[in-house]
């Protein structure tokens, strides 16, 4: 009776397989990064130059894109500045959460040394107080 004994892979063959697997993983990573549908959103959230909208700041510009993440609104303005706005709610509106309420094209107005953020949408004006939950019933 003949016994069939498999030969162990040589170190050279193992190295070749590891190299091919590494190349495949690297190519797959870059292809997935290239076709990632959330690429712009991740760039807005991870922007190191992004600043928090604070009471001391004043703005008067429109939203070019917006990303919501766990109650925080990450906003890219039409002047290419990226800001983030902490949790705010106004229970007078059907959509009380600021991060869900904001839309591309909304004009944001906030005076310096004020905690009130005004949102102009067409002819309508809405307001939120940054970091506060207001008009709870």
Task: List, for residues 43-71, the tens digit of each pLDDT value.
Answer: 666 677 788 898 899 999 999 988 888 88
Residue with tokens 């705010």: 88
Counted domains in the chain: 2
Q: Tell me whether residue 43 is in a domain.
A: no
Can you give the pLDDT at residue 9? Answer: 72
**Structure tokens of 37?**
């549908």
**Is residue 40 scored above 90 in pLDDT?**
no
Quote the mean pLDDT of the chain. 87
Q: Are residues 120 and 98 in the same domain?
A: yes
Q: Tell me whether residue 111 is in a domain.
A: yes
Q: Tell me whether residue 1 is in a domain.
A: no
Is 111 in contact with 55 (CB distance < 8 Å)? no
Can you give the pLDDT at residue 12? Answer: 83
Q: Global pTM?
A: 0.68
Residues 6+ apart with CB under 8 A from 84: 50, 51, 52, 53, 72, 73, 74, 75
Q: Are residues 24 and 53 in the same domain?
A: no
107 CB burial (10 A radius; 0-12, 13-18, 19+): middle
Q: What is the mean pLDDT of residues 89-110?
A: 95
Q: Tell me whether residue 21 is in a domain.
A: yes
Domain ranges, residue 20: 8-37
Q: What is the mean pLDDT of residues 85-114?
A: 94
């Amino acid at each position: 009776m003949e016994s069939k004994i498999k030969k162990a892979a040589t170190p050279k063959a193992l190295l070749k397989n590891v190299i091919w697997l590494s190349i495949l993983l690297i190519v797959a990573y870059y292809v997935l990064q290239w076709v990632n549908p959330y690429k712009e959103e991740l760039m807005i959230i991870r922007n190191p130059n992004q600043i928090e909208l604070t009471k001391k700041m004043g703005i008067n510009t429109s939203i070019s894109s917006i990303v919501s993440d766990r109650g925080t609104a990450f906003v890219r303005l039409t002047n290419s500045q990226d800001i983030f706005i902490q949790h705010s709610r106004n229970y007078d509106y059907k959509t009380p959460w600021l991060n869900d309420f904001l839309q591309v094209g909304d004009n944001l107005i906030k005076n310096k040394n004020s905690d009130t953020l005004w949102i102009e949408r067409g002819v309508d004006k809405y307001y939120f107080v940054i970091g506060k939950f207001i008009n709870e019933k």
